[in-house]
Amino acid sequence: MVHNKNNDLYSIQTINLTKVFKKRKHKGIFGFLKKKTKEEKSGSSEDVTVALDHVNSEIRSGELFGLLGPNGAGKTTLVKCLSTILIPDEGTAIINGFDIRKQTSFVRASIGLVIGGERTLYWKLTARDNLMYFASLYKMPRREAKQRVEEILALMNLSDRADERLEDYSTGMRQKIAVARALLHNPPILLLDEPTLGLDPTFSRQIRNQVRELCKKEGRTILLATHYMKEADELCDRVAIINDGKIAAIDTPERLKAMVKETELVEVSCYNPPHNTEDYLRPLCPDVEIITLIRGDEAKGAPSRIKIIGGNAEKHVSTIVDALRKKDAQITSVNISMPTLEDVFIKITGAKLAEGGIT
Amino acid sequence: MIMESGPQETSLKANFFLVWSEVVKNMKFLMAYPVIFIFWTIFPFFWFITFIFQGQAIVGGLQSPSFAKSAGTSEYIPFIIIGAILNGYVLTSLYGVGESIRREAYQGTLDYLLSSPCNKAFILIGKAVSETISSTVYAIIHLFVCVIFFGIELTLGVIMPIMLILILMILGLYGIALMLAGLSLQFKQAHDLAHTLEYVFLVFAPVRYPLEALPFWAQIIGRFLPLTYALIAVRSLMLLKQDFPAIYQQILLLFVIDVLAIFLGFYLFNWMEKRTKKSGAISQY
Amino acid sequence: MKKIGEYTRGLEEVSCPVGLSLANIKAELRAIWECNIKEWKIELAYPVNFTRQCIEPLIFLLPILIFALLLADERFSANLLRLVGTGDVITYIVTGYLIMGFIGTAVWAMGFSIRKEQWYGTLEFIYVTPTSRLSLVLGMALHSVVHQGIGTLFEFVVIYAVFGLALKIEGILPALVIFALMMFALGGFGIFISSLALIFKEGWIISEGFHSILTILSPVSYPLTVLPNIAQ
DSSP track, A27-56: --TTGGGSPPPHHHHHT-GGGEEEEEEEEE
Predicted complex ipTM: 0.82
Using CA atoms, how far residue B135 sits from B23, B38, B149, in Å, is: 13, 12, 21
Handedness of CA A72, A76, A80, A82 (dihedral sign): positive
Is the Cβ of C199 closer than 8 Å to some Cβ of chain B?
no
Is C128 within 8 Å of A111 (Cβ atoms)? yes
- Which residues fall within 8 angstroms of residue A185, CB to CB, at 6 or more apart? A109, A112, A135, A138, A140, A148, C15
- Which residues fall within 8 angstroms of residue A60, CB to CB, at 6 or more apart? A8, A9, A10, A11, A221
For A265-337, CATH number out of 3.30.1380, 3.30.70, 3.30.1330, 1.20.1330 equals 3.30.70
As a whole number of angstroms, the distance between CA C20 and CA B106 comes to 43
Is the Cβ of C221 closer than 8 Å to some Cβ of chain B?
yes
Name which of C43, C67, C79, C84 to mutate to probe chain B: the one with the most chain B Cβ atoms within 10 A of its Cβ.
Answer: C67
| CB < 8 Å to C27, chain A | 136, 139
Handedness of CA A228, A231, A233, A236 (dihedral sign): negative
Q: What is the pLDDT of residues B73-111, one digit of tens each?
A: 888 988 999 998 888 877 777 777 666 776 777 677 777
Q: How many angstroms separate the first and last alpha carbons of chain B?
A: 42
pLDDT at residue A79, rounded to an integer = 95
Q: Select the residue of B46, B76, B191 nearest C71 (Cβ to Cβ).
A: B76
| CB < 8 Å to C73, chain B | 66
Is B131 within 8 Å of B92 (Cβ atoms)? yes
As a whole number of angstroms, the distance between CA C75 and CA C73 comes to 5
* C6 found inside a domain: no
Three-state SS for C6? strand
Q: Give the CATH fold of the A2-22+48-258 domain.
A: Rossmann fold (3.40.50)
| CB < 8 Å to A113, chain C | 124-125, 128
Distance from CA of B117 to the nearest CA of C (A): 32
φ/ψ of residue A99, rounded to 5: -80, 135
Domain hosting residue C162, numbered range: 27-226
Which ranges in chain A are annotated with CATH 3.40.50.300? 2-22+48-258
Q: What is the pLDDT of residues A334-355, one digit of tens each?
A: 988 777 787 777 777 765 433 3
Is C14's CB within 8 Å of A118's CB?
Answer: no
As a whole number of angstroms, the distance between CA B43 and CA C213 comes to 10
Mark out the alpha helices in B108-215 (DSSP H runs): 110-114, 120-149, 156-187, 190-204
Is C14's CB within 8 Å of A110's CB?
Answer: yes
Lowest mean pLDDT among A216-220, A353-357, B188-192, C82-86: A353-357
* C216 found inside a domain: yes
pTM of the model: 0.77
pLDDT at residue A151, rounded to an integer = 94
| Cβ count near C96 (within 10 Å) | 18
Is B31's CB within 8 Å of A28's CB?
Answer: yes
More confident residue, C188 or A154: A154
Q: Are strands A238-243 and A64-68 parallel, antiparallel or unpaired?
A: parallel
Is A207 within 8 Å of A196 (Cβ atoms)? yes
pLDDT at residue A35, rounded to an integer = 63
- Which residues fall within 8 angstroms of residue B11, CB to CB, at 6 or more apart? none
As a whole number of angstroms, the distance between CA A237 and CA A254 comes to 10
As a whole number of angstroms, the distance between CA B131 and CA C187 comes to 37
State the Rg of chain C over Cα.
Answer: 22
Handedness of CA A217, A218, A219, A222 (dihedral sign): negative
Is C205's CB within 8 Å of B39's CB?
Answer: yes
What are the mean pLDDT values of chain C's consecutive 10-residue runs (232 residues total)?
38 76 93 95 89 88 91 86 89 89 82 82 92 89 88 89 81 82 81 78 77 88 89 86
Is A109's CB within 8 Å of C121's CB?
Answer: no
As a whole number of angstroms, the distance between CA A295 and CA A273 comes to 9
Q: Measure CA A274 to chain center.
A: 44
Is B59's CB within 8 Å of C79's CB?
Answer: yes
* C5 found inside a domain: no
Give CA angle at A72 (A69, A76), nearest 5°.
Answer: 75
Residue B94 bridge partners (DSSP): none
Residue A114 bridge partners (DSSP): A192
As a whole number of angstroms, the distance between CA A358 and CA A346 comes to 9
With a cut of 90, say whether residue B131 has pLDDT above it. no
Using 50, 70 and 90 to split pLDDT, how confident is the model at B279? Answer: low
**DSSP state for residue C121 in the 8-state scheme:** T
φ/ψ of residue B58, rounded to 5: -85, -40
Is B66's CB within 8 Å of C73's CB?
Answer: yes
With a cut of 60, say whether residue A139 has pLDDT above it. yes
Which ranges in chain A are annotated with CATH 3.30.70? 265-337
Q: Report the number of distinct structural domains present in chain C.
A: 1
* C20 found inside a domain: no
**DSSP state for residue A299 in the 8-state scheme:** G
As a whole number of angstroms, the distance between CA A260 and CA A247 comes to 17
Q: Are strands A221-226 and A238-243 parallel, antiparallel or unpaired?
A: unpaired
